Structure 1
Amino acid sequence: MLMRWQSTPHVREWWESDEPYDDAALADPRVARWIVSYAERPFAFMQDYTVHGWEDHHFAHLPKGARGIDQYIGEPEMVGAGHGPAFIAMRMRALFDEGAPVIATDPHPDNARAIAVYKRLGFEPSGPPRKTRWGLILPMLAAA
């Protein structure tokens, strides 16, 4: 399912991974991964991770307990219907309730739709766009 979603043009435009998750990746304790469903129909992928899990991570300067998030809607007909902001907001609430002092995200600077959604959810840019080992990003933060 993830491979099918990652092959769709609207996901490939912004999600650069062609590699499936193997058992080692799925067992990585630094990252929590979720399949998001609506009315029992899977339609999106989301992950949150400790920003301190990689020595050179671009959010490693954030306070202890900070989490990063990434996600995409895999089913094209579910894009633009308000589902993304809804499930992102739910996960943000859960992370803040669990004690995260800040949540970070890093959309591509040209991904205007994602940036607009993040701003509506309380994220603000935390610096200029920059190149990382994961690609070109716009760092954004939301505080509890």
Structure 2
Amino acid sequence: MPMPEDGTRYYFRDVEGRDLSLLGQWLAEPHVAKWWDGDPQASAQEILEAVESIETRPMIVELEGRPIAYLQHYDPHLEDGHPYQDQPKGTLGLDISIGIPALIGKGHGSAIIRQIASELFAGGTKRIVIDPHPENHAAIRAYEKAGFRYLDTRTSIYGPAHFMVLDANQETDLQ
């Protein structure tokens, strides 16, 4: 499988029922489970149910026709009481988990983030926020490589968050 530096383009598709087992497997992987609370199968079912929501868009990331990651974006302004409603209108939150352990540390995370950010900005998104756990140093590095900058530390319902932002006018190296 080519490395992302060679211009590889990822394909983003909506999560479907056929992805339930795969999502459960990925959520059970130690590198994902460490940062994702809850039972993997129950969480996979919640992801599948989120397909019907208006605030969250759950997606599978494919490379060369092979599913490699879970990604979702959400609008914090569409969810009652979301802690990120202090962000400007036009902000979307982003979450990503690379499911295949062999692909961790190869640059896919930042490359996927750069591509989805470019697509979201082209669609009118003004800001993208991401909130890794402060101890998830690998994720923080990947997001920094994708252009995100640290804004502040917050506490969400999931615990502490290293809150990072990327604004549409910052995306010069993403195009």
Please tell me the TM-score bracket, short chain as reference.
Answer: over 0.9
Mapped to 1, the partners of 2:108 and 2:49 lie a distance apart of: 30
Partner of 1:11: 32
Deviation at 1:119, TM superposition (A): 1.1
Secondary structure of the residue aligned to 2:138 is: helix
Percentage of identical aligned residues: 35
Deviation at 1:104, TM superposition (A): 0.3
Residue type of the partner of 1:21? Answer: Q
Calculate the aligned-residue CA RMSD, in Å: 1.3
Residue type of the partner of 1:40? Answer: G
Mapped to 1, the partners of 2:82 and 2:163 lie a distance apart of: 12
The reply on whether 1:96 has 2:121 as its aligned counterpart is yes
Q: 2:60 aligns with which of 16, 31, 35?
A: 35
Deviation at 1:85, TM superposition (A): 1.2
Distance 1:90 1:77, change over 3 A: same
State TM-score, norm by structure 1: 0.93
Q: 2:158 aligns with which of 121, 131, 134?
A: 134
Deviation at 1:50, TM superposition (A): 0.4
Secondary structure of the residue aligned to 2:97 is: strand
Mapped to 1, the partners of 2:79 and 2:159 lie a distance apart of: 15
Give runs of aligned pairs for residues 15-26 of structure 1, distance below 5 A: 15-18=36-39, 19-22=43-46, 24-26=49-51
Secondary structure of the residue aligned to 2:69 is: strand
Runs of 4 or more above 4 Å deviation:
none
Indicate the structure with greater helix content: 2
Deviation at 1:8, TM superposition (A): 0.7
Mapped to 1, the partners of 2:108 and 2:94 lie a distance apart of: 16
CA contact 2:62–2:69 (8 Å) conserved in 1: yes
Q: Which runs of 5+ in 1 are unaligned?
A: none
Q: Which runs of 5+ in 2 are unaligned?
A: 1-21, 169-175
Deviation at 1:2, TM superposition (A): 0.3
Partner of 1:2: 23
Mapped to 1, the partners of 2:57 and 2:50 lie a distance apart of: 10
Mapped to 1, the partners of 2:146 and 2:83 lie a distance apart of: 21
Cα deviation code 1:28-82 (max 9, x no counterpart) = 1111111111111111000001021223222111111110000100010111111
